[in-house]
């Protein structure tokens, strides 16, 4: 969590300050939650914008934790109707980011029955 949340906050500010994504999240009902972040960003205070993102928004948008915890969250999305989850996996515990991402994807992959 100590490594994932700061990375998540940077990703959220990067994406959700793009007008199209901002409008989408406003439409989703997150306007009030994200208003301070948008205001800080527009004022040029990027550091404050990171801090202005409520932890609830981070937890709603980013899946992090052990492979089992992440798989359970992905399954919640599927149960809610997501038919094709698209995952960008990071394994922040590995020194080599490419190998870490590969390990993370393998750990999250569903078991395949080979009959």
Q: Above 60 in pLDDT, residue 114? A: no
CA-to-CA distance for 5 and 88, rounded, in angstroms?
15
76-107 pLDDT per residue, tens: 999 999 998 888 887 777 778 788 888 888 88
What is residue 113's predicted lDDT score, i.e. its pLDDT? 54
What is residue 39's predicted lDDT score, i.e. its pLDDT? 98
- Residue 25 backbone class (left: φ over 0; alpha: ψ -120 to 50; beta: rest): alpha
Q: Above 70 in pLDDT, residue 13? A: yes
40-79 pLDDT per residue, tens: 999 999 999 999 999 999 999 999 888 889 889 989 999 9
Cβ(108)–Cβ(74) below 8 Å = yes
DSSP H or E run through 24:
helix 19-25
What is residue 27's predicted lDDT score, i.e. its pLDDT? 97
Q: SS3 of 63, please?
A: coil
**pTM for this entry:** 0.79
């Amino acid at each position: 969590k100590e490594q994932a949340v700061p990375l998540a906050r940077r990703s959220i500010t990067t994406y959700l300050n793009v007008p199209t994504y901002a409008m989408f999240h406003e439409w989703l009902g997150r306007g009030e939650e994200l208003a301070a972040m948008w205001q800080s960003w527009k004022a040029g205070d990027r550091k404050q914008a990171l801090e202005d993102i409520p932890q609830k928004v981070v937890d709603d948008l980013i899946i992090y934790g052990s492979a089992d915890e992440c798989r359970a969250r992905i399954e919640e999305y599927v149960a809610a109707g997501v038919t094709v989850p698209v995952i960008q996996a990071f394994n922040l515990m590995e020194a080599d980011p490419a190998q870490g991402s590969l390990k993370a994807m393998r750990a999250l992959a569903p078991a395949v029955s080979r009959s």
